[in-house]
Amino acid sequence: GNVSLWGGRFAGGPSEALQALSQSTHFDWRLAGHDISGSVAHAHVLHGAGLLTDDELTAMVDALERLRADVASGAFLPVLEDEDVHTALERGLIDRAGADVGGKLRAGRSRNDQIATLVRMYLREESRGLARLVLDVVDALVAQADRAGEAPMPGRTHLQHAQPVLLAHHLLAHAWPLLRDVERWIDWDARAALSPYGSGALAGSSLGLDPAAVATELGFAGPVENSIDGTASRDVVAEFAFVAAMLAVDVSRLAEEVVLWATKEFGFVKLHDAYSTGSSIMPQKKNPDVAELARGKAGRLIGDLTGLLTTLKGLPLAYNRDLQEDKEPVFDQVDQLSVLLPAFAGMVATLEFDTERLASLAPQGFSLATDIAEWLVRTGVPFRVAHEVAGACVRACEEHEPAIELWDLTDDELAAISPHLTPEVRTVLTVEGSLASRSAHGGTAPVRVAEQLDRARARAAEL
């Protein structure tokens, strides 16, 4: 039979080619549960407007709940002729409630307001689940930072040795952006929490239906202000996609460090067997595939965001079928993050840092030169001069064959560079001295990092 939703105007069904192009059930079927919840809420407002009798409402809701159970069990599935999730579920409803009752549900709503509502319901729910998974990564970072204690490492800028920092400080520098990503989804939710249901195709409904009642029943804070905006806009979807892409980028930056750290040349970290892979040909290999996949998936998630924004950029108001293309990008983001984040959290939790190697590398590469300059400043030397003097120390070290480190300079060599360089300068030529001196808020001094660790842990627990 003709299962399409627009039989009256059309003499025949769609061509096979159109059907193949148009169909979305292979991806929008995941919205079926939300669609049915929307239909139950819509039945309630139809009843409230006097458009369904008590008995019809009971029969309708009963049929929808049976349909929900059949969808959940897999007993009811979309067929080839069902254009989208809405079409399929209307067929399922009419099968169960009969055409007289089932045929009344569509009054006053359009697939345009339906789909705009369902995608918000879906993304709001998924954002909460994904946020838990992000917090598992944060927990793993916080636990590693806790375990690292006061262990130092070489801090880098431009990938060159810069200044010694605490390993815990560095690990927490990856935790804060992830906490902000979770906060971004929480902020986003305030904008996603408005329901387009009741917008109809674009202009609203003439049937006396109450959009606020539907919104409340579906867990929204209220209805959207403008029915055209409600059906035509997807900025809420794009903002979700930005947060997902940003999160993937934040994860990818840590992933890149893990890839580097696990090399022979860096030798900072060992990966657990359960979170690394071997080679089919090279028996010695242990590869950081979790980190590499994280890096790779970041590109994919950026692509999802980019594709979505590109779909939106030229669209006139109100609904256009192009908007059907809004879903696969964000569904893909959700699916990718759902498999990535648990593996990533496990990899981070099981990293084994070579803290001895990190400690021995921390002062190398003249990373204490800034400490010399700042020590001179504390003795009254202008920074311009101090910077030159410290730089001259580095040059003196490099003139040795082979080069020596700053603390290897003799008292005479120091005095020859500058009379200000008394032997007391040696107090800052240690990693411990350098770390302890950076004791302002947010700095790498152990006492500050311990406080920071407490705050990161507390923030993660709050979210």
Phi and psi of 316, rounded to 5°?
A: -75, 160
Determine the Cα–Cα distance for residues 360 and 380; give it in Å rounded to an integer. 31
Least distance CB 38 / ligand ARG (angstroms): 13
Least distance CB 309 / ligand ARG (angstroms): 17
| Widest CA span in the chain | 102
Write down the residue that tokens 């329901």 correspond to. Answer: 195
Closer residue to ligand ARG (CB): 111 or 174 = 111
Choose one: 107-115, 165-173, 305-313, 362-370; the region binding ligand ARG (CB under 6 A): 107-115
Identify the three-state secondary structure at position 352: strand
Choose one: 110-118, 168-176, 204-212, 437-445; the region binding ligand ARG (CB under 6 A): 110-118
Closer residue to ligand ARG (CB): 201 or 359 = 201
Catalytic residues: 158, 279
Closer residue to ligand ARG (CB): 320 or 430 = 320
Closer residue to ligand ARG (CB): 112 or 199 = 112
Determine the Cα–Cα distance for residues 171 and 173; give it in Å rounded to an integer. 5
Binding mask 15-34 for ligand ARG (x = CB under 6 A): ---------x----------
Strands (DSSP E) contained in 226-341 are 269-270
Helices (H) and strands (E) in the chain, counts: 18, 6
Least distance CB 234 / ligand ARG (angstroms): 10
- CA-angle at 181, arms to 338 and 254, nearest 5°: 75
Of 115, 237, 251, 368, the one binding ligand ARG by CB under 6 A:
115
Amino acid at 303: G
Of 34, 111, 387, 457, the one binding ligand ARG by CB under 6 A:
111
Phi and psi of 164, rounded to 5°?
A: -65, 140
| Among candidate residues 385, 454, 450, the one with its CA nearest the CA of residue 421 | 385
Footprint on residues 306-335 left by ligand ARG (CB under 6 A): 321, 323-324
Closer residue to ligand ARG (CB): 324 or 437 = 324
Two structure tokens written together for 445: 């001094």
Footprint on residues 59-98 left by ligand ARG (CB under 6 A): 84
Least distance CB 146 / ligand ARG (angstroms): 46
Alpha helices (runs of H) in 49-166, residue ranges in sequence order: 54-73, 85-102, 111-148
Least distance CB 15 / ligand ARG (angstroms): 16
Least distance CB 328 / ligand ARG (angstroms): 10
Phi and psi of 352, rounded to 5°?
A: -120, 110
Any bridge partners for residue 154, and if so which?
164
Q: How far is CA 132 from the centre of its chain?
A: 11
Any bridge partners for residue 166, and if so which?
152
Q: Which residues of this protein are in contact with ligand ARG, per CB under 6 A?
A: 24, 84, 111-112, 115, 321, 323-324
